[in-house]
Chains A and B, each alone.
Chain A
Amino acid sequence: MSSAASIQPVLSAETLVDVQNLSKRFPVAWDFFGRPSRFVSAVDDVSLTIRKGETLALVGESGSGKSTLARLVMRLAHVTSGSVTFQGKDIIKMPGKELRTFREKAQMIFQDPYESLDPRFTAARVVAEGMSHLSLSSEEKKSRIAEVLNLVHLPSDAAQRFPHEFSGGQRQRVSIARALAVNPSFIVADEPVSALDVSMQSQILNLMRELQDRLGLTYLFISHDMSVVRHMADRVAVMYLGRVVEIAPAEELFSNPLHPYTQALLSSVPTLLKGRPGQRIAIPGEASVVDDRPNCRFANRCFRSLERCRSEKPILTGVLRHPDHWVACFNSAPLLDDGAVA
């Protein structure tokens, strides 16, 4: 499939979330009258689909727009243009009542376990917060709270404790419990383990996998940590400065990255292997974008850039060898066998 369309075809799996040409623009310069004259898109014309039951990882560094994209999908921020549909329904223009149903089905886990819980709320209250409009009796609520705390493997006396009595990993479990309390089918996890120690990371990741198996959850997993992504993801979308530059199933992406940024990213990760198979790709400078002109935003740091890259915007295009691997690059090429660049 080498169509130039920017829409990925829906394969046989059922699509849960469909993002089409989503953009979020911010003004960065104003004219004399105070009207915005120049914009930058933090999320620029992003299209992707999330399939039921899968874990799609969104990978990128600071400024990539992955957190912004997550919030747009959750309707926690205003969309400038484009659409997001959840189970076939457009969520951007959803009226109040339907929105509430959406908020039960789609939940979010946040990065900072020390900040995502109100320090004045007991764990029980935290978990119950989303349930208040569900008109459950107080026994039903209590049993639900107990059930959900059990699902995340917290002891029964946890319900009456305050956040400061928990460790970081336990707080994150409370966060997960809060998300599960309303019985969601889709969870957006924004860097859920980045703020935790290594030994706690394993616990939470194992827990998330277990919950996915037990409850049939679909995850949008945002992370900058490639080794965590490697462990959790079915498919991976790599973002750079607001655009998706490559998207493929996890194994395919890690074994055959094609976009120069992906190659550099994977190469930068400190690894525990004794002798590195290849050479480290170092990209100079830092990521920054000034405006929304049509170009490749990676061109100024890219080791394979062409003239074309500065004046045209690359579109996600299917890769010939693989049915589900897409790259947005005019000069993508696989790494050589020793990991060096072509």
Chain B
Amino acid sequence: MVATTPANNYHARTATGESREPLLTLDHVTTVIHARKRTLRAVEDVSLSIGKGEILGVVGESGCGKSMTALTIMRLLPQSAVAAQGSIMFDDRDLLKLSGNEMRKIRGNQISMVFQEPMTALDPAFTVGSQIAEVVHAHETVSNDEAMQRAVRMLDRLGIPNADRRANDYPHQFSGGMRQRVMLALALVMNPKLLLADEPTTALDVTIQAQILELIAELRKELGLSVMLITHNLGVVHEIADRVAVMYAGEVVETGTVAEIFSNPRHPYTQGLLRSMPYLIKRQPTLHVIPGRVPELWAMPNACRFAARCPNRTEQCIKDHPALERIEINHELRCFNPTSFVR
């Protein structure tokens, strides 16, 4: 009665790690926040793409703009924030140019999002089944029965035992991992093409995290779902992502396939991140530390944003701002002075 999953099952990478046909393309997207007296550039000139059936990991620490990027795609920015530049191409349409109504038809239907804290994302006053059915009703005209049936099927597909009974339970009657599955059900009931997952497993226990990640990988295989997985946990990215984009201080600093980035990271920040993570196998006398702090949003340098903390800093780095360039077929980098990675 042993349930083991060969670890390789997660990785449905193409053999050469090429990116697939692009589903979503962000092109020089900038999001600014208008605060009192100041304009803060939370997302700066971000260009990314996600292929069909691909899992893109977006990695960075808190405040790096990864969540804002997702909210910009969904056009769910807070009132004070606005996407000032760039385009987001999805299915040959620029999401940033769509009207509110057109965008509403896309949300939950073609592009869905799940968040970190399932308890706050679910309405405690309604049963889980009715909330999922509500999504169905929002996009299609169906009978109540039909909507409920689809909700129950979705709950079942996502591994909730006794789904037909559980659909009548309220969110507080579910545990953390189960709630996250409910969130996924909400997001996937309309069979969207793209799922934006913002730290979906951060609040969960590690054994439950393993279950949820496995679930996401399965759904990708079964439904051809593309996933933008936002996390600060490099280990999670290594487990299920195909490609990874590293963000720092609102910018994308490095992108590439997982294999490439983990074996040959070129950006000093990526290297620093990889070195900072305590390895499970080897104990070290002291952990590597990236000195300094992320610059505050209102004090962004005009030159390279990582320069103040960078061990490879040169004259040019504090004067000019590096652009994101393709250095290899699967590897983009924003750096004037990269070095090879020595563990």
Which of A's residues lie within 8 Å of B, judged by CB? 61-62, 167, 197-199, 201-203, 205-206, 209, 224-228, 230-231, 250-251, 254, 264-266, 268-276, 278-284, 286, 288, 303, 340-341
List the A side residues contacting B287 at CB < 8 Å: 201-202, 205-206, 231
Which of B's residues lie within 8 Å of A, judged by CB? 1-7, 61-62, 175-178, 205-211, 213-214, 232-236, 238-239, 262-263, 272-274, 276-281, 283-284, 286-290, 293
Instruction: Indicate if the CB atoms of B239 and A341 lie closer than 8 Å.
Output: no
User: Of all chain A residues, which has the CB nearest B1?
Assistant: A303
| Cα A136 to Cα B80 with chains together (Å) | 50
| Cα A141 to Cα B206 with chains together (Å) | 43
Closest beta carbon of chain A to B246's beta carbon, Å? 12
List the A side residues contacting B177 at CB < 8 Å: 286
List the A side residues contacting B263 at CB < 8 Å: 274
Instruction: Indicate if the CB atoms of A228 and B290 lie closer than 8 Å.
Output: no
List the B side residues contacting A167 at CB < 8 Å: 293
List the B side residues contacting A226 at CB < 8 Å: 206, 280
Closest beta carbon of chain A to B22's beta carbon, Å? 27
| Cα A25 to Cα B213 with chains together (Å) | 34
Instruction: Indicate if the CB atoms of B210 and A272 lie closer than 8 Å.
Output: no
Closest beta carbon of chain A to B190's beta carbon, Å? 27
Instruction: Indicate if the CB atoms of B278 and A230 lie closer than 8 Å.
Output: yes
Closest beta carbon of chain B to A278's beta carbon, Å? 8
| Cα A230 to Cα B1 with chains together (Å) | 30
| Cα A250 to Cα B205 with chains together (Å) | 21
Instruction: Indicate if the CB atoms of A270 and B4 lie closer than 8 Å.
Output: no
User: Of all chain A residues, which has the CB nearest B205?
Assistant: A61
The residue that A280 contacts in the complex, of B7, B205, B272, B274, with Cβ under 8 A, is B7
Instruction: Indicate if the CB atoms of A224 and B3 lie closer than 8 Å.
Output: no
User: Of all chain A residues, which has the CB nearest B275?
Assistant: A202
Instruction: Indicate if the CB atoms of A269 and B280 lie closer than 8 Å.
Output: yes
| Cα A200 to Cα B158 with chains together (Å) | 35
Contacts A206-B286, A206-B289, A230-B280; A282 near B214 (Cβ below 8 A) = yes
Instruction: Indicate if the CB atoms of B276 and A288 lie closer than 8 Å.
Output: no
Instruction: Indicate if the CB atoms of B277 and A198 lie closer than 8 Å.
Output: yes
Instruction: Indicate if the CB atoms of A201 and B234 lie closer than 8 Å.
Output: no
List the A side residues contacting B290 at CB < 8 Å: 199, 202
Interface centre among B1, B5, B207, B214 (most CB of A within 10 A): B207
User: Of all chain B residues, which has the CB nearest A286?
Assistant: B175
Contacts A206-B287, A227-B280; A282 near B62 (Cβ below 8 A) = no
List the A side residues contacting B4 at CB < 8 Å: 279-282, 340-341
| Cα A268 to Cα B3 with chains together (Å) | 13
Closest beta carbon of chain A to B161's beta carbon, Å? 8
| Cα A315 to Cα B253 with chains together (Å) | 53
List the B side residues contacting A286 at CB < 8 Å: 175, 177-178, 208
Instruction: Indicate if the CB atoms of B283 and A272 lie closer than 8 Å.
Output: no
| Cα A206 to Cα B284 with chains together (Å) | 10
Q: Which 7 A-B pairs have the closest CB atoms?
A: A270-B235, A61-B205, A202-B287, A268-B210, A197-B61, A276-B7, A227-B278
Instruction: Indicate if the CB atoms of A282 and B278 lie closer than 8 Å.
Output: no
| Cα A281 to Cα B4 with chains together (Å) | 5
Closest beta carbon of chain B to A208's beta carbon, Å? 11
User: Of all chain B residues, which has the CB nearest A305?
Assistant: B1
| Cα A224 to Cα B208 with chains together (Å) | 12
User: Of all chain B residues, which has the CB nearest A170?
Assistant: B293
List the A side residues contacting B62 at CB < 8 Å: 197
Beyond the given A269-B206, A282-B4, please list 8 additional residue pairs across the A-B interface where CB-CB is below 8 A.
Answer: A203-B289, A231-B287, A271-B235, A272-B238, A272-B262, A272-B274, A278-B7, A286-B175
Instruction: Indicate if the CB atoms of B3 and A284 lie closer than 8 Å.
Output: yes
The residue that B210 contacts in the complex, of A209, A280, A303, with Cβ under 8 A, is A280
The residue that A224 contacts in the complex, of B206, B210, B288, with Cβ under 8 A, is B206
Instruction: Indicate if the CB atoms of B232 and A282 lie closer than 8 Å.
Output: no
List the B side residues contacting A282 at CB < 8 Å: 3-5, 210-211, 214
User: Of all chain B residues, which has the CB nearest A285?
Assistant: B161
List the B side residues contacting A281 at CB < 8 Å: 2-4
User: Of all chain A residues, which has the CB nearest B273?
Assistant: A198
The residue that A268 contacts in the complex, of B207, B276, B278, B293, with Cβ under 8 A, is B207
| Cα A254 to Cα B272 with chains together (Å) | 25
Closest beta carbon of chain B to A244's beta carbon, Å? 18
Instruction: Indicate if the CB atoms of B3 and A199 lie closer than 8 Å.
Output: no
The residue that B286 contacts in the complex, of A61, A209, A230, with Cβ under 8 A, is A209
Contacts A198-B232, A283-B207; A272 near B277 (Cβ below 8 A) = yes
Closest beta carbon of chain A to B218's beta carbon, Å? 12
List the B side residues contacting A275 at CB < 8 Å: 7
The residue that A271 contacts in the complex, of B1, B3, B238, with Cβ under 8 A, is B238
Closest beta carbon of chain B to A115's beta carbon, Å? 16
| Cα A205 to Cα B277 with chains together (Å) | 11
The residue that A199 contacts in the complex, of B236, B262, B276, with Cβ under 8 A, is B276
| Cα A217 to Cα B264 with chains together (Å) | 40
Closest beta carbon of chain A to B26's beta carbon, Å? 24
Contacts A231-B287, A279-B6, A282-B4; A271 near B280 (Cβ below 8 A) = yes
| Cα A288 to Cα B206 with chains together (Å) | 16
Closest beta carbon of chain B to A259's beta carbon, Å? 14
Closest beta carbon of chain B to A209's beta carbon, Å? 7
User: Of all chain A residues, which has the CB nearest B272?
Assistant: A199
| Cα A303 to Cα B293 with chains together (Å) | 45
| Cα A315 to Cα B164 with chains together (Å) | 39
User: Of all chain B residues, which has the CB nearest A303?
Assistant: B2
List the A side residues contacting B207 at CB < 8 Å: 61, 264-265, 268, 283
| Cα A283 to Cα B281 with chains together (Å) | 22
List the B side residues contacting A272 at CB < 8 Å: 234-235, 238, 262, 274, 277, 279-280
Contacts A198-B273, A231-B283, A276-B7; A268 near B206 (Cβ below 8 A) = yes
List the A side residues contacting B274 at CB < 8 Å: 272
